[in-house]
Chain A
Amino acid sequence: MADHDHTEPPSDTALRVKALESLLLEKGLVEADTLDAIIQLYEHNVGPQNGAKVVARAWSDPDYKARLLADATPAIAELGYGGVQGEDMVVVENTSDVHNLLVCTLCSCYPWPVLGLPPVWYKAAPYRARAVSEPRAVLKEFGVEIREGVEVRVWDSTAELRYMVLPERPAGTEGLGEDELAALVTRDSMIGVALVEST
């Protein structure tokens, strides 16, 4: 057969997905437009910029921070964020005495509405195992030195409960507005593998 007579099929895996998708479409269990919209949403609109706004609000508004730490899901919804993997959120606060670190030891549970989809390393076996067994060593590899005397708390996310870290507000940011503060907050700082720097 000459090359132009046929189209080379994609990988077996891609064909499995195509098979499943076409069956689900045929059965009316999913709709093509909705699937496209979901992909668009996660690629463009859902990401750590959402969590950064939550953090900046908490740093700027003590009442909001109190609501966020008491019951995170409705407080996060106040800013318009919620949905899949954000149903039961808990926000844990870093202080001068406690540093919090997030992991999902079983798979990849992660607070999508505020952080987007997790980075590859979060889903990988080394992080899932070592965040629990040697969190200080893991933090050190991320460049975070935790002082002696500071307690490291590791939070294992589950299908029912997902965590987000409220990082410590850096010194020297007293005059900044919420947008400027949000710009300082990184994804990694809300997972707990980085600190927020005042640039």
Chain B
Amino acid sequence: MVEKAQLTATPSLPIGEDGPLFAEPWQAQAFAMTVRLSAEGHFTWPEWVKYLSVEIAADKDKVSDNNLETYYNQWLAALEKLVTDKGLASSGEMSGRKDEWRRAYLNTPHGKPIHLSAAESKPD
């Protein structure tokens, strides 16, 4: 029999929550890329699980964080490492591309579609 004091001393379970699968589109995109790359044979599912487990274990002190944001941050970090280790894209390519997208946003007037080419010059 577990005493009530013990129960309150242990981290609580966020039970009863039944939210959406993804809190933001990027979470769904990271999920879908992983499923697809594995289905295409770029890595096996057990390989993926190993990478995800490492990220989750590295974050284990954050016991109070149990939201989708934390989980998919771990997911994305694992995916970036696996993609790098498999030679699918380098970390330099990823950070360079990220900066290009940021510039493309800043160069594009509000309400217009964002194209990567806008990173170099403001669209007409």
Task: List the interface of chain A (C-beta within 8 A of B).
Answer: 3-24, 27, 29-31, 34-36, 38-39, 42-43, 84-85, 87, 106-109, 116-117, 119-121, 123-127, 129-130, 134, 136-138, 140-142, 158-160, 193
Contact = CB atoms under 8 A, between A and B. Distances in A.
Contacts of A124: 13-14, 65-66
Nearest to A18: B101
Contacts of A126: 10-13, 63, 66
Given A27-B89, A29-B40, A137 B32 contact: no
10 contacts: A9-B106, A18-B26, A20-B79, A20-B80, A35-B36, A108-B52, A120-B17, A124-B14, A125-B63, A134-B2
* SS class, residues of chain B in contact with chain A: helix
B97 A19 contact: yes
A130 B2 CA distance: 12
Contact of A17 (B6, B21, B29, B40): B29
Contact of A22 (B12, B71, B106, B116): B116
Given A18-B98, A141-B7, A35 B108 contact: no
A119 B29 contact: no
Contacts, number: 192
Interface residues of B, number: 72
Given A16-B76, A120-B71, A34 B56 contact: no
B71 A123 contact: yes
B124 to A, nearest CB: 14
Closest A-B pairs by Cβ, 6 of them:
A124-B66, A159-B49, A126-B11, A19-B97, A9-B105, A159-B46
Interface in B1-19: 2, 6-7, 10-15, 17-19
Contacts of B29: 17, 21, 35, 39
Query: Which residue among B38, B42, B83, B105 has the maximum number of chain A CB atoms within 10 Å of its CB?
Result: B105
B115 to A, nearest CB: 11
Given A13-B76, A140-B2, A159-B49, A130 B13 contact: yes
Interface in B66-100: 66-68, 71, 73, 76, 79-80, 83, 88-89, 93-95, 97-98, 100
